Amino acid sequence: MVSNRLTATDAIATYIEAKDHNRPELMADAFLDDCQLEMMVKTTAIAFPSAAAGLEQVTRVLVRDFSAQYDNVRTYCLSRPPSDHPSQFRCRWLVGMTARQDGAVRVGCGNYDWHFRPGDGRVARLCIEIALMSVLPAVDAGRILPWLSTIPYPWCSGPDAVRDMPSIEALAAIRTFIVAR
């Protein structure tokens, strides 16, 4: 019997497509109407509300408001779900982007905790931990954006993510976080 349920991999990839490419209409394909978002921001380099409830609010926070501030966004999950239909999945992530206002480059990392609705496959709850976020001057975009474009998108391993990472002191803690087990 073939299942028509959304796989965890598809739900996560759809979310990344929606967020990175300002496609809010895709969020309903990945998230339930009554989804929940929790944010743990452990840095002052970026701000998000601590929570959002319902598809409309979650889409506003993660796609519309985010895309109004940032462009050239590339998000990477550093591992894939272990099966098509897990009830939950935790993975590290890496993101790079530029600020629309001044071109400053941000590179960050943290953890995603995904919770999927059984029998459906869409996201019921997402907990995002932003562990580190480095802000670099716009001039560094010429080094950061080419590096990000060489990383397999949106899935890659930690070692693949940092293989060609520029040797910039502000990225050292991010490198350490990504390759830590």
Exposure string (b/e) for 57-79, b if CB count within 10 Å is 16 or more?
A: ebbbbbbeebbeebebbbbbbbe
Q: Mind listing the pLDDT tens digit for each residue in 96-143?
A: 999 999 999 999 999 999 999 988 899 999 999 999 999 999 999 999
Backbone angles phi, psi at 89, to 5 degrees: -155, 135
What is the pLDDT, as a whole number, of residue 2?
38
* Nearest C-alpha neighbor of 153 from the set 69, 93, 81, 70: 93
Look up residue 10 and give its two tokens.
Answer: 């598809």
* Among the listed residues 23, 16, 28, the one whose alpha carbon sits nearest the alpha carbon of residue 120: 28
pLDDT score for 119: 85
What does residue 103 show for φ and ψ, rounded to 5 degrees? 80, 0
CATH for 8-179 is 3.10.450.50
Count the residues in the chain.
181
pLDDT in tens, the chain (181 residues): 334 589 999 999 999 999 999 999 999 999 999 999 999 999 999 999 999 999 999 999 999 999 999 999 999 999 999 999 999 999 999 999 999 999 999 999 999 999 999 888 999 999 999 999 999 999 999 999 999 999 999 999 999 999 999 999 999 999 999 998 6
Q: Which two tokens stand for residue 86?
A: 């897990």
